[in-house]
Each structure stands twice: as C-alpha cells, then as structure tokens.
Amino acid sequence: DQQVKQNSPSLSVQEGRISILNCDYTNSMFDYFLWYKKYPAEGPTFLISISSIKDKNEDGRFTVFLNKSAKHLSLHIVPSQPGDSAVYFCAASVWSQNFVFGPGTRLSVLP
Amino acid sequence: DGGITQSPKYLFRKEGQNVTLSCEQNLNHDAMYWYRQDPGQGLRLIYYSQIVNDFQKGDIAEGYSVSREKKESFPLTVTSAQKNPTAFYLCASSNGRGQGLYNEQFFGPGTRLTVL
C-alpha cells in the first residue's frame, strides 16, 4: 500500500504561470515532508521541505503547503520556467528516518 | 567540494554475475541509503545504514547485499539472486539521529545497471 501518493503522473503548464504539484499521504506519524526535483539519469536534488509544525514554507519561487487534517501537501512554483521541467518527487518521513517517496509527477513547462 | 559520488555512471554485466556499485560521501553523514528507480516509478528503498557496521533491509532487499565498514562508504552488491537487476540505482546520505530533528537526504548522481 502506497503511503505517499502523487496522483498526477504528469502536468503541463505555460511558462510564467503557476505550477501546482500535489501529494497525499496516509501515515499520520509523518512529521517531515520534502520535495525533490529530478532530471533524467541524474540523482534527485532537494528543493524545499516542511515540518509538521508549519503549514507553509517559502523559498524563492517555491512554496510548500501542508494540510495535516487532509494529509495533503502541495508544491507551488511561481512563475514557472522551462528549466523547471523535470520529475518532482514528494517524500515523507518520521523524524527524518527512512524517507518514503511518491511515484513522482513529470512537469513540463511550455515556452 | 562536499558531496556523494557513485561510480561508474553506466555498468553492464552478464546475467548470473554479481556486481558491486560504489557510493562514497564526504559530507560526514552518519546515515546512508540505497534506492532503486525503475522507469515511470518512484524510488524504492533497498538497504539503509544509520551508523558504521550496522545496516537494515529496506522494502526490496532480496537479491542485494551491503556493507558499512567506513562512515564514508556504503557499497551495494547486486547478486545473481536478484531477478530483475536492470535499473537506475541511487545512493543517498543524511545526518543521522541526534543531529537535529529534520534532515534532508542528499543524493548521488546514480548508476544505471544493465544486465544482458
């Protein structure tokens, strides 16, 4: 049973618009959530994270929102740029131990 | 420069042969991890180690083995018992327990293993 789900395998967005990537989880013990970006044939790179004591964390164009009651988090990218085209993984952990990754969402930002 | 290195980038082996994938980090991280990624899928945990000389099985450990003799190194052996070894293998590391409550994982560039 998948503990971390990303129900949209792919997403296309026009350059300059907002990209919203969604992630749902089932384990209420998760207390730390992360987003990674991955290009083909490369390792994932850390983007942004949020702990369960917060509901929002911002870093430049990237904002992560956490809704604990709905067990849902989302990554907003504003404005989207062609270089943002990649696969985005959501990950969750309990006290930073044994991260569980979602299946990923492929984002395509169209010029 | 601090980071995680994996070598080689591409590896080809004949069916039935064991092969060892290298992972080295100079980030002084206690914890190290091995993941496998298959096309169109997420990352699945193979093995992890929170401290030297100790490691635990992840979700898909069958057909794999690891060792953690040094803090900097966590090699993964893909044995002939692994039924579908062709995949992209990723190594990661992070600060371990007692190094702060929230620690992200840092990933190496990956090794693509193809078994012919």
In a mutational test of the A interface, the residue from B36, B105, B113, B114 whose CB has the highest number of chain A CBs within 10 Å is: B105
| CA–CA dist B1, A102 (Å, integer) | 30
Cα(B71)–Cα(B13) distance, integer angstroms: 28
Per-residue model confidence (pLDDT) at position B68: 97
A88 vs B: CB within 8 A? no
pLDDT per residue as tens digits for the range B19-63: 999 999 999 999 999 999 988 778 999 999 999 999 999 999 999
* A108 interface with B at CB cutoff 8 Å: no
State chain A's mean pLDDT as an integer: 94
| pLDDT tens, residue by residue, A47-97 | 999 999 999 999 999 999 999 999 999 999 999 999 999 999 999 998 777
Tokens at A12, concatenated:
């296309």
Amino acid letter, residue B2? G
A101 touches chain B (CB under 8 A): yes
User: In this structure, what token pair is assigned to residue B81?
Assistant: 């018992």
